[in-house]
Structure 1
């Protein structure tokens, strides 16, 4: 497996399941998680150093809270992580009554609403997508998923994207920015003909999608019509997620995994689980900040979406 020479290994860390890269423009650092090692990492590109906070449960994703906090997606709910004290305050339980499900990919939209996808451990169609609104309402907005993954929006906020990894499908929805409603789901990128699986994604300022390919050793850039434009090869097979960062949002950070690989595979792909970066001339979209979350929650039991 030969990598694109422009792809740099910026952190040798051998994460078990690196995921959820999130650029913090205020601090000019990259936050990311190692799900199975229960760690929230902070990588500083200026010094090429990384520090981590170890939690007591799995952690699958991150939101930007206020300056001193990250909102973390744990196995069955959201928590607020104090970056100074390293303590987590529980906030919102989600699917705590479903032991075969856990939280997976998460994202914050431009209105400070949180989008939380879950996954089923047996890849059955029992996972869901939730939206946590600024008024403290938790709404289920999609059902029947296997692994809710790869969330994002078009630059003009007219589309919402969602990946269902086992189905090898990236869906597009019509997105109503003011209300946060999604509707009119359609298959947008169909990868059922490939041997790999779409994982996390990000959207650039030109409206193109960058999708990390699990067991594919690459990130693929698709145009706004869903057509493949470019494959960026990495020297490892399990590519999990990507996001833009750096001073001008032109550095594509890519997380990878080593979980489940044999000793022979780990020897061959000795960079598995490391953090990579591709310097581009393409600008990404800034990470939205959810700020202070409501202190109480109510569940909306109205119909999906």
Structure 2
């Protein structure tokens, strides 16, 4: 199959990220972290609307009718998509050098999210929120791209500056992880793994920051395919549409020089890719 990404929205986001497909609404949600926006995109009409949440928005997941759970700089909150109201759940961090990053819900409705250090220090953590807060991992640089295998036995976590995607044993009943090992090592590359998604066959699709591509890996971590992107900084991806065969890809323009922008003119836009596989549905909090 000839994989050719299509530019579907001239968004010019600073840091487009954390996309998920809402199967009930048939809408794509995604965040622009530094512009403090949660976007709601309708591929059928091309309409994109956004909610200004007043602070960086680092992760987003569905949480019931007209409600999302979001991670902001130091807190988690609910966003009411009927009126744009943000209601804080819990303040967690108070270190100005730390902010939250990528997050998703597991099949039991628990919200997983990580944190990162702006100074590149190993101060990041991985959290799970299920009505109470649990710390599952420490010593991360940038907790990023996470997901679960289709059989729900393996959890994936990316540490972007280390150019590593880890695999853990996952206990679905308790929500615990164990036996961390390196699944994908990209230290020989010049780019960094960012957000990821997992397809029905257990393959990992990872967006490569500064890599001009999305890479598909098999469940054992072997590279299968590189999909070339017309932008330097793909950030994350998720499967969507009714059959979950369309890969939606967010991108970033932040930090690019004027010359780099000229080479990567559509940076910050939203892209789609028709694939010959399908993804797993986004999971709701609660």
CA distance in 2, matches of 1:121, 1:31: 26
The alignment partner of 2:174 has SS state of: coil
Partner of 1:186: 181
RMSD, aligned α-carbons: 0.9
CA contact (8 A) 2:252 2:267 kept: yes
Q: Are the aligned partners of 2:144 and 2:158 in contact in 1 as well (CA < 8 Å)?
A: yes
Count of residue pairs brought into register by the alignment: 285
In the TM superposition, 1:71-82 aligns within 5 A as 71-82=69-80
Aligned to 2:120: 123
Q: Structure 2: which 5+ residue stretches go unaligned?
A: none
Aligned residue number for residue 213 of structure 2: 218
2:95 is aligned, of 98, 104, 109, to 98
Aligned ranges 1:44-55 → 2 under 5 Å: 44-55=42-53
Query: What residue in structure 2 maps to residue 200 of structure 1?
Result: 195
Matched, 1:113 2:98: no
Indicate the SS of the match to 1:56. Answer: coil
Q: Secondary structure at the match of 1:266?
A: helix
State which of 67, 70, 80 in structure 2 corresponds to 1:69: 67
SS of equivalent to 2:35? coil
Please show how residues 144-293 of structure 1 align to structure 2 within 5 Å: 144-291=139-286
Q: CA deviation at 1:264?
A: 2.0
Residues 1:10 and 2:47 aligned together: no
C-alpha deviation, 1:85, in angstroms: 1.3
Q: Is the 8 A contact 2:109 2:284 kept in 1?
A: yes
Check whether the contact 2:3–2:273 (CA below 8 A) recurs between aligned residues.
Answer: no
TM-superposed CA distance for 1:132, in Å, is 0.9
Q: Conserved in 1, the CA contact under 8 Å of 2:59 and 2:113?
A: no
TM-score, structure 2 normalization: 0.98
Matched with 2:26 is 28
CA distance 1:260–1:26, change in 2 (3 Å): same
* Post-superposition offset of 1:79: 0.8
List structure 1 runs of 4+ shifted beyond 2 angstroms: none
- 3-state secondary structure, aligned to 1:265: helix
Alpha-carbon separation, structure 2, partners of 1:182 and 1:82: 31
Cα displacement (A) at 1:5: 6.0
TM-score by length of structure 1 reads 0.92
